[in-house]
Amino acid sequence: MTTEIQAPVPIPNALTEAFWQGAAEGQLVMQRCNACGHLQHPPEPICSACLSFDLGSAAVSGKGTVYTYCIPTQAFHPWFADKLPFVLAVVELDDQPGLKMITNIVDIDPEAVKVGDRVEVTFQPFSEGFFLPVFRPAAQ
């Protein structure tokens, strides 16, 4: 009997549930302030723009730009060992200046990724019921 290495999985809570539920439904969902409309990620208990506690969520465009990236050469968890090399990136979304998320860039040679590349979201299943929002080169 072999022991299969399991992917590290999130434990959704009241703040992150909308993000993971959206991803499972093929939508990139961010926390949105009901008082001022500010989008923020990762989700927080309070709006960083107006300090309101009245927070909801909204689907965003899923389009953005590579802000920065690196190509890890060592796995920080055994599950990633056979996935190297991959592109670990920060993508700035079009929906609001400064709205960024940590993600992966896929469907491209890691060495070909450049800061400023246009990308669009796609979703990769990685564990039972969980889909990870990752980005691929945007369609022309």
Rounded to a whole number of angstroms, the minimum distance from the CB of residue 90 to Zn ion is 23
By C-beta, is 23 or 33 nearer to Zn ion?
33
Binding test (CB under 5 A) with Zn ion, winner from 49, 88, 99, 132 = 49
Q: Return the amino acid letter for 2.
A: T
Count Cα atoms within 13 angstroms, Cβ side, for 42. Answer: 9
CB of 42 to Zn ion, least distance (A): 16
Q: Which pair of tokens denotes residue 44?
A: 């927080």
DSSP per-residue string spanning 36-59: T--EESS--SS-TTT--S-EEEEE
Which two tokens mark 50?
A: 């107006």
Piece in contact with Zn ion (CB under 5 A), picked from 3-11, 39-47, 80-88, 125-133: 39-47
58 binds Zn ion (CB under 5 A): no
Binding site for Zn ion (CB under 5 A): 33, 35-36, 38, 47, 49-50, 52
